[in-house]
């Protein structure tokens, strides 16, 4: 039996988990969860949030950090924690999945609105309701109106990563958890099929393309 990854295609945390599964060569299938209808997800994982995976052995794991750690335990090779760098990767991944996520989440709102509108007015309405209840009434429309300011903030947040990746394949010498987190967050700017990482950030564009190609065949060589 294959592992199963329950996801929303636009979720950066699902993209992170999906790429770790591919990197480790885990045989899995993707289950795209309907935004309104989550019975199968609830039955499999006991909750309604993604990402969630069920392993071939029947274990259910939720939350991208917990999933990453558990996959490392179940499939230690290839590792997402190169020797001597576990703490650094955990710290960087935490920053990427919180601070950077908040910036990129806001610039992706317009694309997500279009994505759920295409699925029907009920899906878009529920998607908007969830965000308005968390961030305040009219949040989605405000983020679309403030797109220019949101992009300026996102670019400032991305700039250190663009600098770090100058002449490097990965954030550190070898691929690790932080790279998968960064790939996941950058997926906010790619899930529509159009890569929206600014042209002024060629290192990040190259990094995303490199990570996107990674599979169980092994990590790309350092350029």
Query: For position 150, which CATH number holds?
Result: 1.20.1050.10
- Give me the pLDDT at residue 219, please: 46
Does residue 12 form part of some domain?
Answer: yes
The domain in which residue 90 lies consists of 86-213
Residues 40 and 148 in one domain: no
Cα Dmax for the chain: 50
- Give me the pLDDT at residue 120, please: 95
- Give me the pLDDT at residue 221, please: 40
Pairwise CA distance, residues 5 & 2, whole Å: 10
- Give me the pLDDT at residue 169, please: 96
The model's pTM is 0.95
- Give me the pLDDT at residue 89, please: 98
- Give me the pLDDT at residue 111, please: 97
- Give me the pLDDT at residue 216, please: 57
Q: What are phi and psi of 50, to 5 degrees?
A: -115, 155
**Average pLDDT by stretches of 10, the chain with 223 residues:** 95 98 96 96 96 95 98 97 97 98 97 96 96 96 97 98 97 96 98 97 98 69 41
Does residue 107 form part of some domain?
Answer: yes
Pairing state of beta strands 52-54 and 60-62? antiparallel
- Give me the pLDDT at residue 220, please: 45
- Scanning 49-176, the segments in alpha helix (DSSP H) are 64-74, 86-95, 101-107, 109-118, 121-135, 139-145, 147-164
Residues 205 and 135 in one domain: yes
Residues 141 and 204 in one domain: yes
Residues 94 and 170 in one domain: yes
Pairwise CA distance, residues 37 & 52, whole Å: 15
Domain's final residue, options 42, 74, 106: 74
CA 14-142-194 angle, to 5 degrees, is 45
């Amino acid at each position: 039996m294959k592992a199963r990854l329950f996801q929303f295609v636009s979720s950066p945390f699902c993209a992170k988990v999906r790429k770790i599964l591919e990197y480790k060569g885990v045989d899995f299938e993707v289950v795209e969860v309907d935004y309104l209808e989550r019975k199968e997800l609830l039955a499999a994982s006991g909750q309604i949030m993604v990402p969630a995976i069920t392993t071939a052995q029947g274990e259910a794991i939720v939350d991208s950090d917990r999933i990453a750690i558990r996959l490392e335990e179940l499939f230690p090779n290839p590792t997402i924690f190169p020797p001597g760098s576990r703490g650094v990767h955990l710290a960087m991944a935490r920053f990427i999945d919180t601070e950077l996520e908040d910036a990129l989440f806001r610039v992706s709102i317009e694309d997500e609105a279009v994505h759920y509108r295409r699925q029907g007015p009920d899906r878009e309405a529920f998607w908007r309701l969830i965000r308005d209840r968390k961030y305040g009434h009219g949040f989605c429309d405000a983020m679309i109106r403030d797109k220019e300011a949101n992009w300026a903030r996102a670019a400032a947040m991305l700039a250190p990563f663009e600098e770090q990746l100058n002449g490097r394949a990965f954030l550190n010498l070898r691929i690790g958890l932080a790279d998968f987190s960064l790939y996941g967050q950058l997926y906010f700017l790619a899930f529509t099929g159009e890569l929206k990482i600014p042209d002024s950030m060629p290192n990040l564009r190259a990094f995303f393309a490199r990570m996107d190609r990674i599979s169980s065949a092994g990590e790309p060589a350092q350029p």
